[in-house]
A and B are shown apart, each in its own frame.
Chain A
Amino acid sequence: MHNAKLVLEDGTEFLGYAFGSTEKKVGEVIIQTGMTGYQEVLSDPAHANHIVVMSYPLIGNYGLNHDDFESIEPAVRGLVVREKCDLPSNFRSTESMDEYTHANDIPAIEGIDTRKLSRHIRNNGSMKGVIVPTSTTTEEAQTHIASATNGTNAVQETSTVKPYVVPGRGKRIVLIDLGLKHGILRSLTNRNCHVTVVPFNYSVEDIVRLQPDGIIVSNGPGKIRDIESVTTAVKALIHQIPLLGIGLGHLVLASACGARIKDTSSGRYVTGLPVTHEKTKITRFTSMHQSEEIIEESLENLPLEVIERIADDGSIVSVHHTNYKAFSVQYNPESAPGPEETSYVFDHFLSYCSAKHIS
């Protein structure tokens, strides 16, 4: 018999079977499409406020391994699947989904009609939810959702507390951690960069003192309005050091240049979303998280040029500063998971960074 349910803030319920943690964590229920990559998704700090629904029905088939995590401690607030796999098969697999969610306090539920849920969210917009035992009444669950306050300090919760160095012999990059994915570090170390990861609230002076060849503002969870200090810092840095914004960092760069940001009608979490280059009209497939976007009209008279848009609705996902060596992308050029065809973003950025300190 069903022993758990996912309750949405509008009162809709989905019956299923619980696994993982029994803690009642409230989160925004988001739909993650993509047929592979659940391990990367679950460990992506950008999901700090989310209960993730996997649109692909079979999750856990190849288990979880040591290598493919995007952060050490997953920040996700829940996992919803059609069917979890208890007997995974892959040469690198070290634990099952059951074991992983249990060990990492992730409330999870299986056996629900995830396609029905996806369509519900698509038709009614994003909403919060919570996984509770079937004995909890809908009203109790809804009250619990309403009383939850989490969300506004997600970056603070996921960003590193202290700076640390990932040494390399190449260009010196300061990476402002808003909840970064390991994939960004991997992409930089593959290119021999010397990376200093700094907390989200690291001061401009301290960053400048590190004499970086370039600065990357990472992806992360939450909303741009919750991290105004970072936007202010970027304003002070953008004219002096080459800068790349990724994900949340993209919105930081844009708003530092004066762009206004709005919520998207419904969030998108897709591995393989087509994005079209404004000039070449070439479409590439990206790993995309989008819950906020640049307001197109706000770009008028700003020193920002639109580089790329999402193919279906034309929303802006990449801009370039017209005077400085600074640009940003909403998608994850490091992929993990997802198509790897936008990794040139890093090469492009590094071409801006003249290595003053190569030993």
Chain B
Amino acid sequence: MPKNEDIQKILVIGSGPIVIGQAAEFDYSGTQACQALKEEGYNVVLANSNPATIMTDHTFADQVYMEPLTIEFLTKIIRKERPDALLPTLGGQTALNLAVELEKTGILSTYGVSLLGSTLDSIEQAEDRELFRSLMNELDEPVPESAIITSLEQARTFVDEVGFPVIVRPAYTLGGTGGGMCYNDEQLNDIVQNGLALSPVHQCLLEKSIAGLKEVEYEVIRDRKDQAIVVCNMENIDPVGIHTGDSIVVAPSQTLTDREHQMLRNASLKIIRALEIEGGCNVQLALDPYSFDYYVIEVNPRVSRSSALASKATGYPIAKIAAKIAVGYALDELEHPLIPEATACFEPQLDYVVTKFPRFAFDKFTSGDRTLGTQMKATGEIMAIGRTFEQSFLKGIRSLDIGTNELWIRSLQHLDEEQLIERMMKADDERIFIVAECMRRGMSVETLYEKTEIDRFFLEKIHKLIDFEQYILDHPLDVQTIKQAKQLGFSDGHLARVWNVSEDEIYNIRKEHSMLPIYKQVDSCAGMYASDSTYFYSSYEDENESLPSTNKKVLVLGSGPIRIGQGIEFDYATVHSVLAIKELGYEAIIMNNNPETVSTDFTISDKLYFEPLTLEDVMHVIELEQPIGVIVQFGGQTAINLAAGLERRGVNILGTSLQAIDQAEDRDKFEQLLDEIDLIRPRGQAVFNLHEAKGVAEDIGYPLLVRPSYVIGGSRMEIVYDQIELENYVAKVRDYSDAFPILIDQYITGIEVDVDAISDGEHTFIPGIMEHIERSGVHSGDSIAVYPPYRLSEQAKQNIVDATMKISQTLRVQGMINIQFIIQDDEVYVLEVNPRASRTIPFLSKITSVPMANMATKCMLGETLQSLGYASGILEERSLVSVKVPVFSFEKLRSVDTTLGPEMKSTGEAIGYAETMEKALYKGLIASGISIPQEGAVLLTVADQDKEEMLDVAKRFHHLSFELYATKGTAAFVRSHGVPVTEVAKIGADEPNVLSTIRQGNVQFVVNTLTSGKQPRSDGFRIRREAVEHGIACLTNLDTAEAILNVIESTTFSAQPI
């Protein structure tokens, strides 16, 4: 009997909120794992605090606990559920760390829970630097010279021995948090101290730098019979020195001979066998490009971001197979999901090239340090498949959705050679574009190789593309040139730009000459076996393998790479839309390019096209498949932005009309709409230059909310308090091609509210209203949202419902609508209307049990709310209080200001639910990583305009017996109101000063509302960064501070004289 019959109930731990280094890939792997275990008849108990995930849907596990991922709560779950086993290897580093802790604290043995997949020993051997090194020595596998250090002194001693540069890697942190490369003493001091502080075990590994070597990864699976396979190997285009999560990666390796490949394959298999892992494992290696010397960099004894990528790159579902292996199956006892003749004991064979690009959030974090290093900074990634490297690479660039459809960024044109070289050598997120720019200016492959150490193979390929750019330029509108360009992978957008014609024109020429791509199957076996795989990618070649059926089909557009403002929530909605389409009996086709997600799991849809989400690429699929329509409401702004082009080319957009979308997004039309239906919004106007801006500002009066139109997640949105700030803002944004018009709005202080509703064109159903704790001005994605609302009057709620109904009806919304309101004295201001799925869909769906995306999809396909069993109006409020708490990745993004404002900064969210608001908030905060101490100290440093309000916060902390520290001005104010406070010296003064107080961990909270004035190194900024880098909660909004006080008060008894 292969399956383990001794266990019935299995606890699966998810990875919690999305942070940099731990993103949607664990929803994909966790969902697969839960499905796989349920398939085997196990009772699956899931713990994950992230409500935005598919895995936390009830359909994927028997019991879902969206509780904080802490030992305390997990112990409660274990006590209650009494699982027989725990599967910790599919929830990232978070789950693995928790499993280790549960085992060490004896909880697993107390309740008789066995660990599946990896033993504690093997986890520790892979994770603990010292144990890892000694294992590698035992196996005779080379590792770079290194030392485990627990103090700066030890670090210095090591560097004295091996010399600079050295890499610092803090133990047990996510995505290399706190690590970095040191070239000199100063950097060493800085990074080591920071790393020690961030490591939960106060330990860092110092390694002799092997930067510049080829970085190669192997995804390996092993079973209880000691059979082991390599699912995929991957070669980083960026050599060692840039975190693999931030590197451009190709699969399979391109520049390794069979001897090199077999050598590294052998090493990887030897390691997984030595660790006795039953499941998946990732081995990272560094190979000297000039010899057979190699080093083992790192081993992850669990599925990872790379394994999600490898699964999508090969069609081999690593997490699913790993879960089945964990419960006892051997590889050869499992079916291959794509090849009827083969078992899972099969090494995928590729006949295409896969390219992965990281997606960064520096469009949001304009002041962020863009330099790439050993600490991961990307928020998401895309994958592209092509039959040649060039096709795959250029598709990848299109998929990034960064405003360019080619290997070219306009702004780089303005840099001189020196600036380009400097940025290239420092390596930032635009490096590959800089390399291309340098080539355009005549720099040789050899020079570029010296400066970047990117393998000449890749540089030559890029060079070929750059050469062809010139050819294109010399042959405008030439049919043969278009043909060659398409085969190489160039986009219509590129041709259109350089020939100064419209994209439609190029497209028409191509259609006239039948220059359309065909689609090839991803079958995991390079055509060796017949496969019924429904997973396709395009290529300009001969044989089309994607034969359209005669069924009625619907195409759903996904949301592309995960970035701030467009996260995993959209994938959640996309997946539910696909499932709803299938329920109605249509064929559901999905297009997306994000390898981390559930939507690109080929078992979800009837057909998956792994393609860029551009007009050109989407049209190709539509031409072939002829769907009855396209759904753009669930793919975030990426999909919505395609709607106009699609309609122009005669495509049927399902659901809310394009005209209505435009009415909601175009400012003038929107205003007109609101006027018609007698609703108000903050006063405002679109302006096209500074002069106009000043005029409008005078008219409305400061403070003002300013932003460019068509934004994602409040991109480049700010509050300005006076004319100087307004001038600064305009000066800052005017260089962006899409900067104008700039929208200027009156800034209203009030309660912000988020409403999601579903409409069938006639009737509208509102599952619930979410109230934000933070006042208006903080981006809705960064606010703590509470359901049901707790400060709104019945009248206000009724006004919200009425307004929502009116807007939906007037726009004749068919599908989803999201509206943001500000409530001031029961007066309802309409802030924003998004006729599409919002990021609150999964949260609201889960807490109200209303399957919103499913219903909305059905409405788009002609069902009515009534036929679905819902009446018009708002759902009765539940008594359970739920909060959605934003989670940030500030510790990974140096130089990013943590202060909250209209620009969204959070990368993920956590949920907390309980009978009372305070308990729910407690859970939510804990789940988001903020600890709630019952005693301690707080540092106050607030702006003048906030002092009055802060006083109450100070008093309440004092009542709770917290010690108060404050900077000079704040301290004087607090003291003058009779509250005892310790004054700390300002930045730059002798220690102890404000920074050292934080650094030494004297305080548990920092309350800081100092504006930075948009200057990157202001005092307020430095205080906030200091707090973040030392893991101390920094509250930049007094509403958040008060909410936390409520929580502490409700859980603490304060000592009071009678």
Interface positions of A (Cβ within 8 A of B): 14, 31, 33-37, 39-40, 55-58, 61-62, 65, 67-68, 82-83, 85, 87-92, 112-116, 118-119, 122, 268, 270-272, 274, 276, 281-285, 311-313, 335-341
Contacts and interface: CB of A to CB of B under 8 A. Distances in A.
B253 A122 contact: no
Interface string B89-123: 00000000000000000000000000000000000
B252 A35 contact: yes
B290 A91 contact: yes
A83 B347 CA distance: 24
Given A34-B349, A115-B527, A122-B528, A58 B254 contact: yes
A39 B257 contact: yes
B387 A57 contact: yes
Given A61-B254, A272-B347, A281 B262 contact: no
Interface string B421-465: 000000000000000000000000000000000011100100000
A89 B460 CA distance: 9
Contact of B543 (A68, A119, A335, A341): A119
A265 to B, nearest CB: 12
A274 B350 contact: no
B255 A339 contact: no
A7 B343 CA distance: 35
B526 A118 contact: yes
- Identify whether the interface residues of B are mostly helix, strand, loop, or mixed: loop
- Identify whether the interface residues of A are mostly helix, strand, loop, or mixed: loop
Contacts of A335: 262
Contact of A285 (B229, B542, B543): B229
A82 B262 contact: no
A282 B227 contact: yes
Nearest to A119: B527
Nearest to B262: A340
Contact of B349 (A55, A116, A336): A55
Interface in B215-271: 225-227, 229, 252-259, 261-262, 265-266, 269
A5 B463 CA distance: 29
8 interchain residue pairs of minimum CB distance: A37-B258, A116-B543, A337-B258, A89-B457, A113-B542, A118-B527, A55-B526, A36-B258
Contacts of A65: 257
6 contacts: A35-B261, A36-B256, A39-B257, A61-B254, A115-B526, A274-B342
Contacts of B257: 36-37, 39, 62, 65, 68, 90, 92
A267 B289 CA distance: 36
Given A113-B543, A274-B347, 20 more contacts: A33-B349, A35-B253, A35-B350, A36-B252, A36-B256, A55-B349, A55-B351, A55-B528, A56-B351, A57-B351, A89-B455, A116-B541, A119-B545, A122-B529, A272-B349, A274-B343, A283-B332, A311-B342, A313-B341, A336-B258
A48 B857 CA distance: 59
Contacts of B290: 91
B291 interface: yes
Contacts of B229: 285
B823 interface: no
Nearest to B340: A312
Interface in B373-414: 387-389
Nearest to A280: B225
Given A35-B350, A36-B258, A276-B332, A82 B388 contact: yes
Contacts of A272: 347, 349
Interface string B281-303: 00000000111000000000000
A90 B255 contact: yes
A62 B388 contact: no
Nearest to B263: A340
Contacts of A282: 225-227
Contacts of B331: 283
Given A35-B350, A122-B527, A311-B332, A283 B227 contact: yes
Nearest to B458: A89
A35 B541 contact: no
A77 to B, nearest CB: 22
Contacts of A89: 255, 455-457, 460
Q: How large is the interface on B (under 10, 10 to 19, 20 to 34, 35 or more residues)?
A: 35 or more
Contacts of B541: 113, 115-116
A37 B265 CA distance: 14
A55 B527 contact: yes
B346 interface: yes
A27 B380 CA distance: 48
Contacts of B262: 335, 337-340
B530 interface: yes
Contacts of A338: 258, 262
Contacts of B255: 61-62, 89-90
Contacts of A62: 254-257, 457
Interface string B980-1019: 0000000000000000000000000000000000000000
A312 B525 CA distance: 13
Given A55-B351, A113-B543, A281-B332, A61 B457 contact: yes
B365 interface: no
Nearest to B449: A89
Contacts of A112: 542
A57 B388 contact: yes
Contacts of B256: 36, 62, 90
Contact of A311 (B266, B345, B349, B528): B345
Interface string B534-545: 000000011101
Contacts of B346: 274, 311
A115 B520 contact: yes
Contacts of B528: 31, 33, 55, 118, 122, 268, 270
Contacts of B529: 122, 312
Contacts of A340: 262, 265-266
A58 B460 CA distance: 14
Which of B257, B269, B342, B541: most chain A Cβ within 10 A? B257
B343 to A, nearest CB: 6
Which of A14, A57, A274: most chain B Cβ within 10 A? A57
A311 B332 CA distance: 9
B141 to A, nearest CB: 16
A182 to B, nearest CB: 13
A36 B264 CA distance: 13
A68 B292 CA distance: 14
Nearest to A32: B526
A124 B527 CA distance: 13
Contact of B542 (A116, A122, A339): A116
Given A118-B526, A122-B528, A312 B341 contact: yes
A281 B455 contact: no
Contacts of B765: none
B803 interface: no
Nearest to A34: B349
A87 B351 contact: no
B353 interface: yes
Contacts of A270: 349, 528
A340 B267 CA distance: 11
A55 B289 CA distance: 26
A91 B353 CA distance: 22
A312 B530 CA distance: 13
B289 A91 contact: yes
A118 to B, nearest CB: 4
A118 B543 contact: no
A55 B332 CA distance: 25
B352 interface: yes
Interface in B57-85: none
Nearest to B526: A55
B456 A58 contact: no
Nearest to A313: B341
A58 B389 contact: yes
B471 to A, nearest CB: 16
B346 to A, nearest CB: 6
Contacts of A118: 351, 526-528
A16 to B, nearest CB: 11
